[in-house]
């Protein structure tokens, strides 16, 4: 079997593999059929300290960097599990850590590290804004000791299973700002209090079990003390979180790709047709080998992006490129794995079709491949913007 980069955080990787062995394919298949949340899996990750690796030790975490977090998520996905139910906690937490007040850090981070609070919802995307974040219209108006928030969000994952949500909204109209990126602020919303008191959550059923929702916000009161950082500076606050998100999801794609390559190579060695293993045929060998080559190259880009992030570089281009390369490599590996298995690849028993659907998401979310190419074209190659 092709090896993952066990030279980085081998003890963490081994511990994650042992944990994931308790949650085999049957567990995920049942959840997939029922569109249910993997509560037991998330609780086990929390108890093992894996969701608090980025939280400093002084707030109850491990105090490790993004490279360690990438190792956790890669191994989760290589093991056949799925980190989508909780990966947001790793990068949304960074908004509080980097830009929150000391009082906010003390109030929330310890409880997040212990699993007493879940911070897994990131409220940014809107029906009429999409990836053009500067055009969001959800508005928070100051009213005494509160903000009154009105608006709508879409494609917000895990809002039903989270206690807290990082919410990006406008506090100054776009046309009153000198730059489109100004006038946005970040509020920390307590969903336990908000739902039914100005916040309505509507689930969106999709082709995979991702707990995606649409949010309707009508005169929701949020305490002004829940403002993170300074009013109007929210856009730059979430940028680093977005970069971390893309790198972590890229690591998940690397794990998915390794899962598919492991499955395909194992099946090709064991499946006999006409008296010999199908893996003797170059028509079977070459796609598996190509998947391995592409995935290895993508993994190198992910490692580079995570290292840059840990060294304090914004690294937006590297984060975007790692996510694009990893998502495309995992999708090629997924398609190859289905093709290698033939009809069996579509059978639930082999647990490939579920992962096939899951990994397809990452060429679209959290940012599409075309938008990454646009970023590279205009920000790196200095080509004119098309919009």
Active site residues: 245
Residues 6+ apart with CB under 8 A from 33: none
Of 60, 39, 58, 65, the C-alpha closest to 49 is: 60
Q: How many CB atoms lie within 10 A of CB 22?
A: 11
Helix (H) or strand (E) holding 203: strand 199-203
Of 153, 23, 35, the C-alpha closest to 76 is: 23
Structure tokens at 119: 């911070």
Torsion from C-alpha of 86, 191, 127, 240, nearest 10 degrees:
-50
Torsion from C-alpha of 4, 10, 15, 17, nearest 10 degrees:
10
Q: How many CB atoms lie within 10 A of CB 291?
A: 26
Tokens 């990131």 correspond to what residue? 122
* CA geometry: angle 370, 376, 378, nearest 5 deg: 100
CB 78 within 8 A of CB 255: yes
CA distance 337 to 343: 11
Alpha-helix runs per DSSP H in the chain: 10-20, 25-34, 39-47, 66-78, 88-99, 102-114, 191-194, 234-270, 282-310, 316-341, 353-360, 369-375
CA distance 238 to 227: 13
Give Cα separations from 112 to 36, 123, 375 (angstroms): 22, 18, 34
């Amino acid at each position: 079997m092709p090896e993952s980069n066990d030279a980085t955080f081998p003890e963490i990787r081994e511990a994650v593999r042992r944990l994931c062995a308790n949650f085999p394919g049957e567990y995920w298949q049942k959840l997939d059929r029922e569109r249910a949340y993997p509560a037991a899996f998330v609780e086990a990750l929390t108890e093992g300290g894996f969701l608090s690796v980025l939280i400093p030790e002084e707030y109850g975490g491990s105090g490790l960097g993004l490279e360690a977090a990438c190792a956790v998520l890669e191994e989760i996905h290589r093991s056949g599990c799925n980190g989508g139910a909780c990966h947001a906690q790793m990068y949304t937490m960074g908004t509080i850590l980097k830009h929150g007040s000391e009082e906010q850090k003390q109030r929330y981070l310890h409880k997040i590290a212990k699993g007493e609070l879940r911070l897994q919802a990131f409220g940014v995307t809107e029906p009429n804004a999409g990836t053009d974040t500067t055009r969001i219209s959800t508005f928070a108006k100051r009213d005494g000791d509160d903000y009154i928030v009105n608006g709508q969000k879409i494609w917000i994952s895990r809002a039903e299973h989270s206690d807290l949500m990082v919410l990006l909204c406008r506090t100054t109209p776009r046309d009153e700002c000198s730059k489109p990126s100004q006038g946005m602020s970040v509020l920390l919303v307590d969903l336990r209090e908000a739902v039914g008191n100005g916040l309505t959550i509507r689930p969106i059923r999709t082709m995979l079990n991702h707990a995606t929702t649409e949010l309707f916000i009508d005169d929701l009161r949020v305490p002004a003390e829940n403002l993170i950082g300074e009013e109007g500076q929210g856009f730059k606050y979430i940028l680093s979180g977005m970069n971390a998100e893309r790198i972590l999801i890229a690591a998940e794609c690397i794990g998915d790709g390794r899962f598919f390559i492991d499955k395909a190579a194992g099946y090709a060695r064991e499946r006999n047709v006409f008296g010999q293993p199908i893996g003797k045929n170059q028509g079977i060998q070459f796609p598996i080998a190509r998947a391995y080559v592409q995935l290895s190259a993508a993994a190198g880009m992910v490692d580079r992006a995570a290292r840059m992030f840990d060294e304090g570089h914004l690294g937006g281009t590297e984060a975007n490129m790692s996510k694009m390369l990893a998502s495309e490599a995992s999708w090629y590996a997924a398609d190859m794995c289905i093709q290698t298995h033939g009809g069996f690849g579509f059978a639930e028993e082999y647990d490939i079709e579920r992962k096939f659907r899951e990994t397809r998401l990452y060429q679209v979310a959290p940012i599409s491949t075309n938008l990454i190419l646009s970023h590279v074209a205009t920000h790196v190659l200095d080509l004119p913007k098309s919009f």
